Every structure is written in C-alpha cells, then in structure tokens.
Amino acid sequence: MKQIAFTFLLSLLSAVSIAQSISGDQSKYMSSHYRERTAAFNAEPVVKGRIIFLGNSITEFGDWQKLLNDPSVVNRGIAGDNTFGVLARLQDIITRRPSKIFIEIGINDFSLNLPLSVTLKNILSIVEQIHNASPAAAIYVMGIFPTNGNVKTDYPFALNKGRQIDWIDARLVKDATRDKFTYVGFNIVLKDENGKLSAKYAKPDGIHLNDIGYNLWIKFLHAKGYI
C-alpha cells in the first residue's frame, strides 16, 4: 500500500513539474522581438496563396526572396521562437492560406525542459490547424536541425540533443502520411561524420546556418521537387 502511495506521489509531482514548465512557456517566447515581429506581420496586407517559411531564428535569418528569386515569398521566422510561440501566432498563417509552407521549429523547445511528446504534439497541432484551414496547401515539416559543440557558449540548452532530435524526427516521419504533410530530412545532409552540425554549413555559434548552408537548403528543396 505504501509503495502504491509513493508511486502515486511521484506521478503527481511529475505532472505538477510538467504543468509548471508548460505554464511558463509564454515567458520563453514572448520577448520584445517576438512582439515586434508579430506586430509587423499583422500590419502586412493579407495576400493569399504565397509560399511561407515559418520558424525560429534559422528561418528568420534566411533571405528567402533572394534565395528563391521570388519577391512574393513570405518570411515568418522569429528568433527565439518555440512551438508554443508558433501556435500563439498561427492565425496570421491561417488567414493567408499559403500554397506551400515550410515549417522549421523545435530546437528552442529544449530550453523549456518539456517532455519530447509535448514538442511533437505541438508540431502536429500546427500542421493540423494549417491543413484544416487550407486543405490544398502543401505542408512541409523540416526535421529539427543538428547543432555542434559550439552551442555550449550561447545556446547550452541545445548541446548534445541528437538523441532527442532523432526521437522527434522518427515520429514525424511516421506521422507524415497520416497527417497530410511531407517530412523533409534535410537535417541529415547538414550532419558531419559525428552526427553534429557540420562546420561547413554553420556559423561559429554552432546552431545557425551560414550562406553555404542556406544555399544547400534551397538546392535540396529543388532536388526533391518541393519548390
């Protein structure tokens, strides 16, 4: 009986801990930069049917119009954003009814110390809401990009998260057909022989892509027929 009570107490404490982490998520993405970016997004005219890149800083720092030679491409990246932040601003995407959307999100969730299942659930919820609003839209979910050892200086939460990334990616691959999105395994191309983000494609911070990395990304999307 004591063992049962002890087990129940552990479960309860775990649930409370998770709930506290989730309830604190807003402070992790609702930065001044997030507010400025979303305010700018909401001020833009609503034009439907465009290609949208949605994500965190890796997306924000990409010059997609130049990379694709298409001035109509929409950049919806926000540095520091996580899956909760994307969900909170998803109406902007839904209203615009994209023809194609590339979703790159998840690495910043590790700073929240959430169960991996929560990040996965959030990504699938993002996909579901976009699909329900725009059934004809082609939805592409990027596998979470690897990092390398240099992240320990500025982004220690992203250090040595290879196994966690692989867990989420494997389940995204499994759910892709059922949930009507295409999983994009470009992250594999970015890895070096040790499974880390290759220095060839990375900035010195170990998490963001350099120009070579972005150009490789576009070549990959072209090769796969996604753009």
Instruction: Let me know: does 164 contact 110? Beta carbons within 8 Å.
Output: yes
Element containing residue 183 per DSSP (H, E): strand 182-184
pLDDT reported for residue 42: 94
What are the backbone angles phi and psi of residue 51, rounded to the nearest 5°? -85, 130
- Lookup: tokens for 54: 């949605």
Q: Per-residue pLDDT tens for 150-165?
A: 999 999 999 999 999 9
The 3-state DSSP class for residue 181 equals: coil
pLDDT reported for residue 31: 78
CA distance 147 to 209: 10
Q: What's the rounded mean pLDDT across residues 184-190? A: 97
Q: Per-residue pLDDT tens for 16-30?
A: 333 334 444 554 666
**Whether the predicted pLDDT of 11 surpasses 80:** no
**Whether the predicted pLDDT of 4 surpasses 60:** no
CB count in 10 Å sphere of residue 132 = 10
The 3-state DSSP class for residue 56 equals: coil
Q: What's the rounded mean pLDDT across residues 200-223? A: 98
